[in-house]
Structure 1
Amino acid sequence: MNGVEVAAGVRVPVPAEGELWVVGAVVLDPAGRAFVQLRGPVRRLFPDTWDIVGGHVEAGETVLGALAREVREETGWVLRRVVRGLGVGAWEAGGLLRHSVDFVVEVDGDLERPALEWDKHPRFAWVGVEDLPVLLVNREPGDTVIHDIVAAALRPPG
């Protein structure tokens, strides 16, 4: 799909008509750290919390198309390869059921200089296993979703 390679064994779901889907991308740097960005204080959902790159699949868009678009919009990088899946789930926010799928991905671009949407994400960081607790800051008690996705991405496959 548009030059995006998908590693063998990676399952890419196809949303059913009318379903709301959210895609997430965990980018790892050469040191094995994961890219995260801080959601701004005025964001409707999850303000002032750390997040991975991602967003909603728009009408008529595929999961891979949405993943590539979100990577480009939120970082300026170009999605090159989907390395592995991190799981499919469902969650509710704002009274709407959303399905989600997250991937470890490889990108092209300058990892030291992401082109953030600064009004939406005022900061970014590269986190390793020792940094995982920061992903729980400002989250509701029991909300470990982003922490758990990044922790899974940081674990060696297998």
Structure 2
Amino acid sequence: MTETNEPRLMVGALIRDPYDRIFVQRRSASRRLFPGCWDVVGGAVEEGESLLDALHREVTEETGWQLRQVLARVMHEEWTANGRRHVESDYVVEVDGDLSSPQLERDKHTEFAWVTAEEVSMLDENARRGGSNFIKDAVVAAHAWLADEAGKRRTAV
């Protein structure tokens, strides 16, 4: 493998349901990065792939759902893990499929939850497990965007 100083491009899908909850899934204890932590759907952008293509692929691979619509990019951050820089773009998205029954990659994710704006403190657990507040910050950003959009719809009526 060739060493590179180029950051690894990452995407995250902050999947919303009709109740404006955001989908999270727990990484399995055997994962090298952030074992046992809550995560959003997403991953690395493969060579030759656009960010949107990566979002489509990751949503399908990790849940079995199909990406229907990208609503907004709510985060664009850099982070480091195992000495490698990552640049991640996280998007609020809507999907098609049975939202009550995601097809988790069981070797990678062990459970899932739908998180309301009032429940984001459950994601504090990540920092206690050696992770960070990155996922919580992304979910909070998604909820803030959703609340702002709901406010715009109310004032437009």
Distance in 1 of aligned mates of 2:131 and 2:44: 23
Quick one: which of 133, 137, 141 aligns to 1:144?
A: 133
Residue of structure 2 equivalent to 1:68: 56
Deviating above 6 A after TM superposition, structure 1's stretches of 4 or more consecutive aligned residues are none
Q: CA deviation at 1:142?
A: 8.4
Query: Which SS does the other structure have where 2:102 is aligned?
Result: coil
Q: Please tell me the residue identity of whatever aligns with 1:130.
A: E
TM-score, L = length of structure 2: 0.85
Shift of the alpha carbon at 1:90? Answer: 0.7
Hey, which of these two has a bigger chunk of helix by percent? 2
Q: How many residues align?
A: 141
Aligned to 1:91: 79
Distance 1:97 1:129, change over 3 A: same
Please tell me the residue identity of whatever aligns with 2:106. W
SS of residue matched to 1:122? strand
Tell me how far 1:20 sits from its aligned partner: 1.2
The 3-state SS of whatever aligns with 1:119 is coil
Residue 54 of structure 1 aligns with an amino acid whose one-letter code is: G
Cross-structure match for 2:101:
113
TM-score, length basis structure 1: 0.84
Please say which structure displays the higher CA radius of gyration. Answer: 2
How far apart, CA to CA, are the structure 2 residues paired with 1:21 and 1:49?
21
- Correspondent of 1:102 among 70, 82, 90: 90
Per the alignment, in what secondary structure is the counterpart of residue 137 of structure 1? helix
